[in-house]
Amino acid sequence: MLNDSLILSFIYVIVGLVGLAWGADRFVAGSASLARSLGVSVLLVGIVIVGFGTSAPELLVSGNAAYQGNPGLAIGNALGSNVANVALVLGVAALAAPLAIHSRILWREIPLTLVSMLIVGVVLYDLRLGRVEAILLLCLLALFLSAMVMQGRKERWDTFSMELEHAIPAAQTTGRSIAWTLIGLVVLLFSARVLVGGAVDIAQAFKVSELVIGLTIVAVGTSLPEVAAALASARKNEPDIAIGNVLGSNIFNMFGVIGVTGTIHPSMVEADAVLRDWPVMVGVFLVFILLAWISKRITRWHGALFLLGYAVYLAFLGMSVQT
């Protein structure tokens, strides 16, 4: 039976997940509205704020985990979120409506996403995440953001920007936008701290590695904003937004989340993260590239395939824990 302390830990996790989902939504809406009121182009708002804003839960959870001395959970969260973004998020969205890729910007962003994963594989190959390597990842993130900003200025009208024009909240008063941005950020910070504390307690109680908890409970939970955003985009026939959010989130997880983790707490990396979970992450994304290249869209059958593969992956993680 579960004791009171463990029940409280599960409550913390649930409260943390709900808070992360709500806080991310308010943070993205507020900051996007603020950017629009300041005259920032809709494409830049979509790429920089909406695309990366949905990764705020991963960043804050992993940053808190690293700060509290639990880098395994942080790395598991980054790798697991990337697997979930493709297999779970796009799987659910594609079941709602097939996702055709029209945007030239997204076709250029797909290989960059793969490159970010390969770079992280090289960084983690020696089973150590050092501070210098982590800072280099953050520099690569800054370089990528700069490139996206320049791209957005050159190519203001793309199918991606046309969809964003209808999806991004209209500008509100500056004071209201700032208020919602700050409220969302505070809720995110509080929820991340609560979630990490509960997740670590659960891992210790069941003698499960923090890496596995990060790959499963935490990764799925921090991917909820992407699930909600992608599902809404698919239903509104805005497939480029659904896929764009996933690509942006995956790049941010690799360069930003792992970069912040290593900067705060350089550490050794569990072998399973490199030998098992990194190949799964890359493999799932390669399947996505193959299907997108051949079919030019992610169909409902593809979505079902992704969800089935994700279920098998989670089951495998569960079996590995039991053994």
Asked whether 209 and 75 are in contact (CB, 8 A), the reply is no
First to last CA, the chain: 21
Helix axes 174-205, 4-37, angle to 10 degrees: 150
The CATH code for residues 4-322 is: 1.20.1420.30
How far apart are the C-alpha atoms of 111 and 247, rounded to whole Å? 10
pLDDT for the residue numbered 51:
64
- Biggest alpha carbon distance in the chain? 60
The conformational region for residue 145 under phi > 0 = left, psi -120 to 50 = alpha, else beta, is alpha
Burial class (CB in 10 A: 0-12, 13-18, 19+), 96: middle
Please give the mean pLDDT across all residues of the chain.
85
pLDDT for the residue numbered 203:
83
Asked whether 68 and 194 are in contact (CB, 8 A), the reply is no
148 or 75: which carries more pLDDT confidence?
Answer: 75
The mean pLDDT of 160-173, rounded to a whole number, is: 62
pLDDT cut 70: percent of the chain above it:
87
Joined tokens for residue 214? 């990060």
Q: How confident is the model at residue 156 (pLDDT cuts 50, 70, 90)?
A: low
The conformational region for residue 128 under phi > 0 = left, psi -120 to 50 = alpha, else beta, is beta
| Helix/strand/coil percentages in the chain, nearest 5 | 85, 0, 15
pLDDT for the residue numbered 242:
81
For residue 141, the SS3 value is helix
Beta-carbon contacts of 298 under 8 Å, excluding residues fewer than 6 positions away, are 90, 93, 94, 98, 99, 243, 288, 291, 292
How far apart are the C-alpha atoms of 134 and 140, rounded to whole Å? 10
How far apart are the C-alpha atoms of 318 and 311, rounded to whole Å? 11
The mean pLDDT of 230-256, rounded to a whole number, is: 85
How far apart are the C-alpha atoms of 294 and 274, rounded to whole Å? 29
Q: How confident is the model at residue 262 (pLDDT cuts 50, 70, 90)?
A: very high
Q: How confident is the model at residue 217 (pLDDT cuts 50, 70, 90)?
A: confident
The closest of 64, 36, 63 to 50, measured between CA atoms, is 36
Joined tokens for residue 218? 């935490």
The closest of 56, 113, 100 to 284, measured between CA atoms, is 113
